[in-house]
Amino acid sequence: KTVFDPTKNADAALQVEELMRQIQVLRGQYDSITKGLAGLGLLTNVAQLAGFELPNGFSAEPTNIFNTPREQNAYNELQRQIATDTGVYASKELGKIQNLTAARVNTAYVEAEVAWTQINCSFENLKSLAAVNTNTLKQSKDLANALAVENSMIVANQAKLKANMLMMQSSMESYKVASHQAVQKFLGSVK
């Protein structure tokens, strides 16, 4: 009769702890990206899905997109034009950029939220499995297989999550560049 080595179970528990640490780091990065996107008005469904408050648009705090007050004012002016739909070139341009970026970002966000749900689900399963005591070799093999399945699910969903986070991050960066250019053109036409 084979006696199963309980250290195998201890290994499983350690694996779970390490995964938990990785997931917490990821969660922190994810939250900062989504808050940044919400602040730029790009993440339109962030309020409903993630429970974040959308930042107040009338806050005295300037956005970080532009370096000089003049550029910031021009940007604010553009946003006012978008609101009143004056049909000025730059405002249309910026509106287009914003809509496209928002659509991309929101798709990535929904996919990322799905990945999070799956990660959390696998993670709960792992925690339960790590607490299981095995008495036979058959049980220990079954446990090892179950742990491996949940582990690979987490790894796959982490990859999906990172890809969508990267998508959101790069969309935010390209939006900053594109809106900066729209402002430059607007400044050129205002002089």
Q: For the chain of 191 residues, list the mean pLDDT of each consecutive stretch of 10.
A: 56 72 81 74 51 39 53 64 51 70 79 84 83 78 83 86 85 76 69 50
Taking phi over 0 as left and psi of -120 to 50 as alpha, with beta for the rest, 41 belongs to left
pLDDT for the residue numbered 86: 43
pLDDT for the residue numbered 88: 46
pLDDT for the residue numbered 48: 40
pLDDT for the residue numbered 52: 37
Whether the CB-CB separation of 8 and 141 falls below 8 Å is answered with no
Comparing CA positions, the residue from 33, 32, 82 lying closest to residue 57 is 82
Collapsing DSSP to helix, strand or coil, 158 comes out as helix
DSSP readout, 54-82? PPPTT-SSPPSS-SSHHHHHHHHHHHHHH
Token pair, residue 73, equals 């004012």
pLDDT for the residue numbered 46: 42
